[in-house]
Amino acid sequence: MPTAFTPERLARIAAEHGTPVWVYDAATIRAQAASLRAFDVVRFAQKACSNTHVLRLLREQGVKVDAVSRGEILRALAAGYTPGGDEIVFTADLLDAATLATVVEHRIPVNAGSIDMLHQLGAASKGHKVWLRINPGFGHGHSQKTNTGGEHSKHGIWHTELPAALAAIRQHGLVLEGLHMHIGSGVDYTHLAQVGGAMVGLVRQAVEAGHDLHAISAGGGLSIPYRAGDARIDVPHYFQLWDAARQEAQAIVGHALTLELEPGRYLVAESAVLLAEVRAAKNAGSNRFVLVDAGFNELMRPSMYGSYHAMSVIPRSPGARPEREVVVAGPLCESGDVFTQGAGGEVLPRRLPEPVVGDLLVLHDAGAYGASMSSNYNSRPLVAEVLVDGEQTRLIRRRQTVDELLALEA
């Protein structure tokens, strides 16, 4: 957890803004961005955290941005990213009509994950800049649901279809900017290390087919240590692997290539916590349940993937707390609304200083795929987001109201 997050400060934020509330630390985001400087371009996969204030902060660090929907393109523009150049790239496997119109209007390069996209874009916008997102036939992820390579995955253009994709580019007069691969999220290092080699093979094929390109993208996928004892990714080593692949690719194309990285989680996961308040505690057979006011509509990762988030307790009043095994769960009317569970939905009691009603429960490492995956399930309004920057604390998204939800149905 960021050192700026002292218990006193988090308690003040909870008192002022209510719970549940997301709290981000700007210094952590800046430090994560700085650690990737060896890469020519770092492009934030904003699906991990798309608050415009976070995007603005990353832009100030020289980080470019990826968008996967029309909404994410409009968010990037609202955060000050400029259209027309390469600051924003749109990555997807399909183009709906409204998104197609938006990428054409703002001249946003398109990273195409299907050949149909190339035909649709080419028909609408001759000379448009494109990337090809290739599925190399292998992938990995912290969950099968986040593995985006291999034949079970809907993502990317299958590697043997590269010639057809290149033919579509030529047919429509599109301009090939680069090749891209993203094999999954929360990828182990062994798999990550294989991607550069696959990229070199694809660059060779593209050049042999008479195409030039200017960039290669390693995608994202870099994990963070969610559990005590998890290894931290060795960024200099990872860069060396990709730099070696880039040099091989440069020898093939005969000129310099830009090396991009497209992380989401790595940049923001450790920067934020979700603060919740303990509202009830009860026994169910051998399990002790601690019920907090945040649910999977806020932080979905444990329910969706069985993901582990470290937790701590800020007692409402001072004094030692004996430790106890507890199951931490939320308010939703669904049994899966449990923050301590395995990938199969089984409850996994966690040893914590026993939380009692009125304590704050802190869910750590919640900055990536936290707020951005929240929903209005059980008619719960989206909660507030707060950004801590040194001594400053700023509300960067106010809490939604039920009236706002109802207004959509008026």
Strands 41-45 and 64-67: parallel
Q: Which listed residue (30, 129, 172, 301) binds ligand LLP by CB under 6 A?
A: 301
- Phi and psi based region of residue 295 (left: phi greater than 0; alpha: psi -120 to 50; beta: remaining): beta
Location of structure tokens 């020898």: 251
Q: Which listed residue (28, 146, 153, 194) binds ligand LLP by CB under 6 A?
A: 146
Q: Is 333 a catalytic residue?
A: yes
Q: Which listed residue (93, 262, 270, 298) binds ligand LLP by CB under 6 A?
A: 262
Residue 125 is a binding residue for ligand LLP (CB under 6 A): no
Question: For ligand LLP, which is the closer residue by CB, 25 or 262?
Answer: 262
Dig out the tokens for 86 from the structure: 């390469």
Q: How many CA atoms lie within 13 A of 408 on its CB side?
A: 8
- For the chain, the straight-line distance linking the first and the last C-alpha, in angstroms and rounded, comes to 42
Residue 264 is a binding residue for ligand LLP (CB under 6 A): yes
What whole-number distance in Å separates Cα of residue 24 and Cα of residue 350? 25
* Stretch of 2-10, 43-51, 335-343, 398-406 contacting ligand LLP, by CB under 6 A: 43-51
Question: For ligand LLP, which is the closer residue by CB, 47 or 172?
Answer: 47
What whole-number distance in Å separates Cα of residue 148 and Cα of residue 410? 40
Dig out the tokens for 49 from the structure: 């955290």
Output the smallest distance, CB 73 to ligand LLP, in A.
15
Residue 303 is a binding residue for ligand LLP (CB under 6 A): no
Residue closest to ligand LLP when measured from CB atoms? 220
Which of 152, 234, 251, 250 has the alpha carbon at shortest distance from 193?
A: 234
Output the smallest distance, CB 402 to ligand LLP, in A.
27
Instruction: Give the footprint of ligand LLP on residues 315-374 (CB under 6 A).
Output: 368-369
Q: Which listed residue (13, 14, 48, 57) binds ligand LLP by CB under 6 A?
A: 48
Residues 170-199, mask of contacts with ligand LLP (x by CB under 6 A) = ------------x--xx-------------
Three-state DSSP state, 32: helix
**Under 8 Å between Cβ of 121 and 160:** no
Q: Which listed residue (221, 330, 355, 367) binds ligand LLP by CB under 6 A?
A: 221
Site size toward ligand LLP, by CB under 6 A: 21
Residue 17 is a binding residue for ligand LLP (CB under 6 A): no
Three-state DSSP state, 366: coil
Task: Please tell me whether 248 is known to bind a ligand.
Answer: no
Q: Which amino acid is at 345?
A: G
User: Which entry of 97, 284, 320, 333 is annotated as an active-site residue?
Assistant: 333
Rounded to 5 degrees, φ, ψ at 283 are -100, 145
Which of 41, 13, 31 has the alpha carbon at shortest distance from 246?
A: 41
**Under 8 Å between Cβ of 307 and 301:** yes
Question: For ligand LLP, which is the closer residue by CB, 20 or 219?
Answer: 219
Output the smallest distance, CB 309 to ligand LLP, in A.
10
Question: For ligand LLP, which is the closer residue by CB, 2 or 367?
Answer: 367
Location of structure tokens 């060795």: 234
* Stretch of 6-14, 41-49, 190-198, 379-387 contacting ligand LLP, by CB under 6 A: 41-49
Residue 265 is a binding residue for ligand LLP (CB under 6 A): yes
Which of 168, 139, 177, 176 has the alpha carbon at shortest distance from 156?
A: 139
Task: Please tell me whether 334 is known to bind a ligand.
Answer: yes
The helix (run of H) or strand (run of E) holding residue 158 is: strand 157-158
Q: Which is it for the CA torsion 46, 52, 54, 59, positive or negative? A: positive
Question: For ligand LLP, which is the closer residue by CB, 220 or 315?
Answer: 220
Neighbours of 403 (CB within 10 A): 9
Task: Please tell me whether 173 is known to bind a ligand.
Answer: no
Task: Please tell me whether 264 is known to bind a ligand.
Answer: yes
Annotated binding site: 221, 262-265, 301, 305, 334, 369
Q: Which residues bind to ligand LLP, rule: CB under 6 A? A: 45, 47-48, 91, 146, 148, 182, 185-186, 219-222, 262-266, 301, 368-369
Annotated binding site for substrate: 265, 301, 305, 334, 369
Q: Which residues are catalytic?
A: 333
